Amino acid sequence: MVQCSDDPVSTDNQPKKDTRAPLITNAAVIHSKVIVLTFNEPLGEESAKKTGNYIMHERDNPLSAINVSAASLDGSVVTLSLAGNMVEGMPYLLEVARVMDLVGNSIKAGTNVELVLAAEGGDAIIALYLDTGRSVLSIAPEPGTMFDCYVWCLPSERGMIGAEFALQTIKSTDDFECLTSNEFLNPAVVAVALGNTVEGIMTAGVECQYNWMWIIKVQYLYKSGRGYIDVVSHPDSGARQVANCLTGFPIEPASSGTPLQVNIQ
């Protein structure tokens, strides 16, 4: 369970000093090796990105640790990459310590969350990030400006040789308008692509891949409003999927990452 702290109490008319510990408001398993934690406030970069502040193990076996190999931060959202795979249906505890907010308040001692990898969560991932470091998930562009986003893929343990998906803009306000301007394949990993990310795209790889890789850079023209950009199913197949590296390159479903936030306040 997630431990909570009480709000500070002011005894006079002076502004309250922020003494509240950061809290985990949501924890999601989006892949057997990826966990996304959402906090109730922005965090300090140094403590949030320190992998030693996160300890992952089977709930009933504290000695069965899975190391956190990387931690990225985007405001109040921390994405953890695991060195090993979670087992489907196995309950895990993720212990979080020494993570601080922007003014130095540390998360309450003993904070932990219970996580379970559902059967459908062990697929490959097709996700969007605004940078090549897989750390930025939100942007606040000025009207009329361009920005880049990258389509990243994390293969399942069976590897990946191709992908099929589309990208969709989702309105948070009625005036949200964000248009695709250009698309660039990553020639190091993509040999050929059919279609485009708006109407649906299929990619074929240069060779089988087994680790994170970006496959397409998409340039957007931001015009107005607030909304999201998400990875969705290819309209023709009705699926978001990849071809793995087993004999015959069979198709398997893919999960999506956290949607990009565009001027979300």
Between 2 and 229, residue with greater pLDDT: 229
Distance set, CA 71 to CA 12, 134, 239 (Å): 40, 10, 30
What band does 130 get if pLDDT is binned at 50, 70 and 90?
Answer: very high
- Residues 229-243, mean pLDDT to the nearest whole number: 92
How far apart are the C-alpha atoms of 165 and 237, rounded to whole Å? 9
> What is the tens place of the pLDDT at every residue in 133-145?
888 999 999 999 9
Contact predicate 154/212, CB 8 Å: yes
> What is the tens place of the pLDDT at every residue in 57-90?
999 998 999 999 989 888 898 989 888 888 888 8
pTM above 0.85, yes or no: no
Contact predicate 157/127, CB 8 Å: no
> What is the tens place of the pLDDT at every residue in 90-112?
899 999 999 999 999 999 999 99
Contact predicate 107/99, CB 8 Å: yes
- Per cent of the chain over pLDDT 90 is 67
- Residues 26-55, mean pLDDT to the nearest whole number: 90
How far apart are the C-alpha atoms of 202 and 204, rounded to whole Å? 7
pLDDT of residue 121: 41
How far apart are the C-alpha atoms of 46 and 204, rounded to whole Å? 38
- Nearest C-alpha neighbor of 111 from the set 92, 94, 90, 91: 94
pLDDT of residue 15: 66
Confidence check: pLDDT of 152 > 60: yes
What domains appear along the chain, each with residue ranges and CATH number? 24-121 (2.60.40.1220), 124-262 (2.60.40.680)
> What is the tens place of the pLDDT at every residue in 13-31?
666 788 999 999 988 887 7
pLDDT of residue 68: 94
Hey, what amino acid is at 33? Answer: K
Confidence check: pLDDT of 47 > 50: yes
Confidence check: pLDDT of 164 > 90: yes
pLDDT of residue 173: 87
